Structure 1
Amino acid sequence: MPENEKIEKTGAGSEPAQAPSKPAKAEKKPKAAKKDAKPGLFQRIGRWFREMKSELKKVVWPTPKQTVNNTLTVIACVIVVGIFIWVFDALAGEIIRALLRLFGKA
């Protein structure tokens, strides 16, 4: 320990501080105390539901107008992607049929 800290702890001009006494051996705790350390299954389940309920109170729920708007946006995106997949599938099928006809396997 640096000298400055020793002087500050002991005080200016006073006797050196005594070394702290060794801690007593830890007493053995009864098994009942160990059992209380971890809550039971039903207590943990109950705490989980309480925490979930408090988190759900913090959620900012959308208005009905926002919900309808978001739903229509999702439906439109699904239709557009579906059309792209349908067109790609039709083109790929025609290309494969043309190749098979070209090589006489059809």
Structure 2
Amino acid sequence: MTQDYELVVKGVRNFENKVTVTVALQDKERFDGEIFGLDVAMDRVEGAVLEFYEAAARMSVRQVFLEVAEKLSEKVESYLQHQYSFKIENPANKHERPHHKYL
């Protein structure tokens, strides 16, 4: 993440065999609050402390963002290549314009 964005743990919920961590993406400069939040569900690990789940959730969300950014980059690149590509025509294949003779 760039320094303008921050992943913040908003909460942790414990269930019998699962732990769900809510992670929010915040833009520190343009928004006062969350851009959006994600719930990351993980299997409970025996002996794991709260910080373990928080770090694992941040890494999981970060990986999702990297994958989405990569796909978006591919789509934008494909779009730009298509938009700015041009066809080079062979002048030999063009029809000659008729020349007019003026009297």
TM bin, normalised by shorter chain, reads 0.3 to 0.5
Q: Which has the higher contact order (CA 8 A, sep 6+)?
A: 2
Q: TM-score, normalised on structure 2?
A: 0.33
Structure richer in strand, relative to its length: 2
Q: TM-score, normalised by structure 1?
A: 0.32
Normalized per residue, the structure richer in helix is: 1
Report the structure number with the largest CA radius of gyration. Answer: 1
